[in-house]
Amino acid sequence: MLERWRELDVFAKSLEQRADGQPWVFYEGPPTANGMPGTHHVLARVFKDVFPRYQTMRGRKVERKGGWDCHGLPVELAIEAELGFTSKDDIEEFGIAEFNKRCRESVFKHVEEWNRLTERIGFWIDLDDAYRTLDSSYVESLWWAIKEIDSKGLLYEGHKVVPYCPRCGTTLSSHELGQPGAYRDVIDTAAFVRLPVTVPHGPLEAGDELVVWTTTPWTLVSNAAVAIDPNLTYVRASYEGSVVVVAEALVDKALGESAEVRSSFPGSEIVGAAYQPPFDYIAAADYGAAGHTVLAASFVTAEDGTGLVHTAIAFGEDDFRLGEAAGLKAINPVKPDGTYDERITGYAGRQVKDCDADLIAELESRGRLLRAEPYEHSYPHCWRCSTPLLYYAKPSWYIATSKIRDRMLEENSKIDWHPEHVRDGRFGKWLENNVDWALSRERYWGTPLPVWRCGSGHTHVIGSFAELEDLSGVLLEDPHRPYVDEVSFACAQCSQPMQRVPEVIDVWFDSGAMPFAQHHAPLENADLFEQRFPADFICEALDQTRGWFYSLLAVSTLLFDEASYKSVVCLGLILDGDGQKMSKSKGNVVEPWSILDAQGADALRWYFLTSKQPWDGYRFSTEAVDESTRRLLLPLWNVLGFFTLYANASGVGPTAGPVQPANDLDRWILSRLAGTVETVGERLEAFDATTAGRAIQELVEDLSNWYVRRSRRRFWDGDEAALGVLRHVLLTTARLLAPFCPFAADHIHVTLDPDGEPSVHLCDWPHPGERDQRLEAAMSAAREAVTLGLAARGQAKIKVRQPLRAAVIVATSDEREALEALADVVREELNVKELRFTDAADDLGRLEVKPNYRTMGPKFGKDMPLAAAAVEALDPGHVGDALREGNPVHINIGGTEHPLGADDLLVAMKPLDGYQLEHQGSHAVALELALDEELLLEGLAREIVHAVQGARKDAGLEVEDRINLQLGGHERLLQAVLLHKDWIAREVLALRLDLGPVDGGSQLSVDGMAFSVELEIA
């Protein structure tokens, strides 16, 4: 089939055919091709395929431009690993030009594998014309966007405390902290540190020890101040021979019961007290006048620690703000690589977090440690390299997204989210807490931040290569580092040379800008962008709420004051069959190719599309995919095979479905088909592939288990109406199925309509046609009666081939009318001579009530025999009514009333003698079991037909072969044959049927009686 599509170029044709159609816009969220595609990528690609295929059949023009995310840390990390680098210094030494060249080469390392998988799963997307975020045109569009944002006053360089990865040497944005796995539970050390007061101050005496608490001991080397709440009550307390100061509310928690409170006072009285810092590396004066003193702050609580907070200006957001307010300098003794600088003698050059234990040991040896204990908390890590992040005050470039927060919320409220709760939940909450976008990265392989700066600090943002050329005379061939860094021009304000700032930008900005950057808009193709903005549909994993879903919305709201997508489908996690996360170390990863090779693309697609709503996540296994094949594809192949067999046998060529079929079953399946076309279209419009797919599955079940089975005889007879209807249903089903299982659907189409469109994917979506809901309701009543009747047969252990006299059906007058219209069908299915009706189940049997020992036993214990007797004595009719209404039933034991519920009582219907009964809800069917001679002989005749059919099969005859038949054996069997001779001959296609001794042939046994069959082709 793939070859056929390639040969006919079906995808391109399907687009061409809709060239004048109204566009329906899909945006591809770009994957990175430097990693291998996995099963979750298949999931995304299946959902990205089904809705565009459907809309194309609906006449819309659905262009599907592929895309690749090329920049960023993952690429750099892979090259660093390849080259054995451990730090940014290694890269600088190696040379940025050569390093970025390696990055560029590795970006498409696995692109062939991606292309192969994409084709194999039938995901139609234009990969030949895919956008690539590394292309100069793409980068130039980003420059345009950044200049635009700057011109709105929303780009700024700020000093803030930011999460920073010392290994990668770069800042992370808040949405990167939201990536899965960023927060991990770790055990750090929490230290209680003594800081002796140097000069008496208010209630404090010299030598009193302020006790501070910290979970980041490595920040103690740059302690600048102690923060307290001026309104909180603090105490001086005797503790282990010294006087310590803590918040009153935390005395017990911090010091235990041995502490003895001496005096208490409000925090305001100790503001300004000077103390000795934990380490002497940085002098108080270096911080400013308020260095190493107690400061009043608003963020101190009495929940944790001591109520006195160690403050290191450079390493916390609260600390940084407090420092700004108190005029303290943010001294940061930690280098960009995460090690202490030379000011911290003794620890210089070591990774700061590795020093926690030694720093604490040093404090202890100097008598400055009150206590240290393990502290478990959730701590952010670099989502790329797993290094624990440090919070640093450092300059960084920001986009003031918080200023457009309300606009983003408004735009978000218009987006059609699937599932809906993401809009106000996960995504809405995220937007409400929006902080400015930390845009810059101190890295190499990315879109260079187009900001140039002179020695006096004037800046100029460049918005296109032409603008840069005008200013500098240099036309960039490659806008990446290091080439772009070499371009300089004179400052317009002071004429000093301007140099580019060293940063590149967050890759999430790259992908968020794809709506215009993919077309090099607006520098080129502005109209193309206009026509394809915003997207009607995007689809990615749920975790993209803080990734692509966010960056798309933020970028388009910043630039165009509008959301860039109207509908979004979120996909959940894929777990293994036991609900465990798949990981290489557990060895439970199911590779897509193993499933594709064994079960095929359609089976995998069908599983993803219909087994669950996609955001609920999957328990993925080979067995689960098998199950979904068993439900749809197998019955469908069987029906197709059946049609082909009988159409060929009867020499019936392709015909259209009859316009007004006379047969009830034909009318019924056509009505079911019409209803299914309606439902599937409706659900696909609403991005609900799951319900749509299940409707197709139910249709195929009805087709296979009811229509085809009930119509066998007509197919056998080469009934053109029946074959025509079946062909029509199969062809229409193929169209419904085309977006889901594109291979199977096309196979059915090509098989049944060889002279029509060369592919189902060039066909229009079918029209529903007329429905007959009365007939559908009647058929469903008939089928329920059949199901119950067959269950009753099973209970009575009477074979279906044995005819029975009658079935009695409980039915309302409406149901009765419907059933009577389809009485032949029900009689034949149940193999009964007669249908009788009653409107009351009581006519069919008697209710019986028995105690449920399992639930009543534990309640009544030794009184159980009494309780059982009381239950047996209850009026079954009364019990039945009470339980139906949800009321308890009471029994009296030794003068005490005990309520009994539905769990305690087993209510069964005991049928009238001679009947077998089966009921379900208000419906019930009873079979009359008595057999007379006539019924017995007819049953035997049916057994004989069954045996002869077996013999035909064993002889390798085709279904349409006519035979001459000779039957012999037990006298009673021959008696049955004589009585039903014509009928038997018709059933087994015998032109001649003779009785008498059989010499050759097969010796069989029917109901324990000898039976012989000899047959030859007539």
Q: Closer CB to Zn ion, residue 170 or residue 511?
A: 170
Residue 460 CB, nearest distance to Zn ion (Å)?
Answer: 9
Segment near Zn ion (CB under 5 A); pick from 56-64, 454-462, 679-687, 879-887:
454-462
Do residues 963 and 988 make contact, with C-beta atoms less than 8 angstroms apart? yes
**Binding of Zn ion at residue 494 (CB under 5 A)?**
yes
594 binds Zn ion (CB under 5 A): no
CA angle 979, 981, 986 (to 5 degrees): 140
Alpha-carbon gap, residue 208 to 216, rounded angstroms: 24
Q: Which of 127, 221, 454, 722 binds Zn ion (CB under 5 A)?
A: 454
Using alpha carbons only, give the angle 848, 849, 852 rounded to the nearest 5 degrees: 140
Toward Zn ion, which CB reaches closer, 165 or 224? 165
Residue 801 burial (C-beta neighbours within 10 Å; 0-12, 13-18, 19+): middle
Report in angstroms how near the CB of residue 449 gets to Zn ion at its nearest: 18
Q: Is 167 in the site for Zn ion (CB under 5 A)?
A: yes
Rounded CA separation 700/44 (Å): 26
State the minimum distance, in angstroms, from the CB of residue 147 to Zn ion.
Answer: 18
Of the residues 458, 612, 771, 833, which one makes contact with Zn ion according to CB under 5 A: 458
The yes-or-no answer on residue 383 being catalytic is no
- In whole angstroms, the minimum distance from the beta carbon of 101 to Zn ion comes to 22
The nearest distance, CB 138 to Zn ion, in angstroms, is 25
**Which residue number, 88 or 672, has a Cβ lying nearer to Zn ion?**
88
Binding mask 934-973 for Zn ion (x = CB under 5 A): ----------------------------------------
Cβ distance to Zn ion smaller for residue 12 or 494:
494
Segment interacting with Zn ion, rule: CB under 5 A, options 487-495, 668-676, 976-984, 986-994: 487-495
Choose the stretch contacting Zn ion; rule: CB under 5 A; options: 483-491, 667-675, 902-910, 982-990: 483-491
Instruction: Based on the shown chain and the rule CB under 5 A, indicate whether residue 735 belongs to the binding site for Zn ion.
Output: no
* Burial of 676 per CB tally in 10 Å (0-12, 13-18, 19+): buried
Which of 414, 429, 581, 910 is labelled catalytic?
581
Return the number of the residue (387 or 780) whose C-beta is nearest Zn ion: 387
Amino acid identity of 599?
A: Q
Query: How many CB atoms are located within 10 Å of the residue 641 CB?
Result: 10
The DSSP secondary structure of 912-928, one letter per residue, reads PTTEEEEEETTEEEEEE
CB of 163 to Zn ion, least distance (A): 10
**Which pairing describes strands 567-571 and 416-418: parallel, antiparallel, or unpaired?**
parallel
Task: Pick the closer one to Zn ion by CB: 171 or 434.
Answer: 171
How far, CA to CA in Å, does 423 sit from each of 443, 566, 671, 685?
A: 34, 12, 38, 19
Residue type, 660: Q
Q: Which two tokens stand for residue 556?
A: 């388009």
Q: What is the contact mask toward Zn ion in residues 325 to 354, using x (rule: CB under 5 A)? A: ------------------------------
Specify the residue, 275 or 489, whose C-beta has the smaller distance to Zn ion.
489
Range 356-370 burial, b when 16+ CB lie within 10 A, else e: beebbebbeeeebbb
Place of tokens 């599509």: 5
Q: What span, in angstroms and rounded, lies between the C-alpha atoms of 326 and 688?
A: 57
Please give the residues from 301 up to 330 whose contact with Zn ion meets the rule CB under 5 A.
Answer: none
Among 301, 413, 456, 887, interactor with Zn ion by CB under 5 A: 456
Tell me if 840 sits within 8 A of 816, measured CB to CB. Answer: no
Q: What is the DSSP letter of 662?
A: -
Min CB(85)–Zn ion separation in Å: 13
357 part of the interface to Zn ion, by CB under 5 A? no
Tell me whether residue 579 is exposed, middle or buried, using C-beta atoms within 10 angstroms of its C-beta: 0 to 12, 13 to 18, 19 or more: exposed
Determine whether 69 is an active site residue: yes
User: CA-CA distances (angstroms) from residue 722 to 127, 641, 650, 670?
Assistant: 45, 15, 12, 11
Check binding of 443 to Zn ion (CB under 5 A).
Answer: no
Candidates 1-9, 160-168, 588-596, 653-661: pick the segment binding Zn ion (CB under 5 A).
160-168
Alpha helices (H) along 861-932: 864-872, 876-884
- Range in contact with Zn ion (rule: CB under 5 A) among 167-175, 300-308, 764-772, 854-862: 167-175
Q: Which of 86, 231, 301, 493 binds Zn ion (CB under 5 A)?
A: 493
Member of 168, 251, 360, 696 binding Zn ion (CB under 5 A): 168
Residue 315 CA to residue 334 CA, distance in Å, equals 10
Choice among 430, 548, 606, 668 that is catalytic: 548
Q: Which is nearer to Zn ion, 444 or 915 (CB)?
A: 444
How many residues does the structure list for the chain?
Answer: 1018
How big is the site for Zn ion, counted in residues (CB under 5 A)?
13
Q: Smallest gap, in angstroms, from Cβ of residue 226 to Zn ion? A: 32
Minimum distance from CB of 496 to Zn ion (Å)?
Answer: 5
Which one of 5, 397, 508, 668 is the catalytic residue?
Answer: 508
Does the footprint of Zn ion cover residue 385 (CB under 5 A)?
yes
In whole angstroms, the minimum distance from the beta carbon of 354 to Zn ion comes to: 16
Beta strands in 272-336 (DSSP E): 293-296, 309-311
Least CB distance from residue 573 to Zn ion, whole Å? Answer: 24
With CB under 5 A as the contact rule, which of the stretches 164-172, 177-185, 328-336, 358-366 interacts with Zn ion? 164-172
Question: Distance between alpha carbon 62 and the CA centroid of its chain, in Å?
Answer: 24
Question: For Zn ion, which is the closer residue by CB, 87 or 268?
Answer: 87
Residue 796 one-letter amino acid: A
Residue 584 is among the residues annotated as catalytic for this protein: yes
Of 55, 518, 544, 697, the catalytic one is: 544
CA dist 741 → 14, 66, 257 (Å): 17, 21, 71
For Cα atoms 304, 310, 314, give the angle at the middle one, nearest 5 degrees: 125
Footprint of Zn ion on 800-839 (CB under 5 A): none
Q: Where are the alpha helices (DSSP H) in 686-807?
A: 689-702, 709-710, 712-716, 720-737, 742-752, 773-796
- Whether the Cβ atoms of residue 978 and residue 918 lie closer than 8 Å to each other: no
Looking at the Cβ atoms of 167 and 980, the one nearer to Zn ion is 167
Q: Is 520 left (phi over 0), alpha (psi -120 to 50) or beta?
A: left
Marked catalytic residue, from 128, 185, 584, 862: 584
- Please give the full DSSP string across 420-447, using - where no structure is assigned: THHIIIIIHHHHHT---EE-EES-SSSP
- 796 to 628, 699, 782, 911: CA distances (angstroms): 33, 31, 21, 12
Taking the C-alpha atoms of residue 219 and residue 391, their distance in angstroms, rounded to an integer, is 10
Q: Where does this chain touch Zn ion (CB under 5 A) — which range of 491-499, 507-515, 646-654, 766-774?
A: 491-499
Among 165, 204, 778, 1015, binds Zn ion (CB under 5 A): 165
List the one residue from 312, 382, 677, 763 that touches Zn ion (CB under 5 A).
382
491 near Zn ion (CB under 5 A): yes
Nearest distance, CB of residue 384 and Zn ion, angstroms:
5
Say which of 69, 319, 664, 719 is annotated catalytic. 69
Nearer to Zn ion, 315 or 417 (CB): 315
- 508 in active site: yes
Per-residue tokens: 309: 């907070």
297-305, 375-383, 749-757, 812-820 -> range binding Zn ion (CB under 5 A): 375-383
Stretch that binds Zn ion, among 180-188, 376-384, 862-870, 1007-1015 (CB under 5 A): 376-384
Please state the closest distance from residue 492 (CB atom) to Zn ion, in A.
7
- Residues belonging to the active site: 30, 69, 508, 544, 548, 581, 584
What are the residues binding Zn ion (CB under 5 A)? 165, 167-168, 382, 384-385, 387, 454, 456, 458, 491, 493-494
